Amino acid sequence: MSQSPSQEKTGGAGEAEDAFKEEGLARLRADLREAVRAQEQLQGELRAALGELSETLGRAAPSSGRSDPEYLLLERRLKIVERDLTLATQQLQSILQSRIWRTLVAAGGLLLGFRQGAPRK
């Protein structure tokens, strides 16, 4: 049994549609990998900066005691930086997840639209 010309056109369109979907998914996957890589790099840089600050603070500490006003000021500032770093990391994670979610929802909507528009067998 051979296919009618209209069925052959539908098959060709279906293959093109599938290729388009695969290309779109590949782009989304690449974008997601890049976003995760950027987040990991930023977190590494922030950890390194915090380590350097902690090391500097340790060198600045008086050897006899920890009651020096300058040391206490640096210690307080370090705690603020640590808190801000934690907050920034949480916000970055939230933004990343939010964008990923919106992208996935949009891609799912497109795929469902293609699926609903595709001829049924």
Q: Using an 8 Å Cβ cutoff, are 100 and 32 in contact? A: yes
Q: How far is CA 89 from the centre of its chain?
A: 12
Q: Using an 8 Å Cβ cutoff, are 88 and 46 in contact? A: yes
pLDDT at 60: 64
CB-based contacts of 46, cutoff 8 Å, min separation 6: 85, 88, 89
For 41-92, what is each residue's pLDDT tens digit? 888 888 888 888 778 777 765 554 567 788 788 889 888 988 988 888 888 7
Q: Is the pTM of this model over 0.75?
A: no
Q: Which of 98, 97, 49 is nearest to 41 (CA)?
A: 49
The alpha carbon torsion through 34, 39, 42, 43 (nearest 10 deg) reads -140
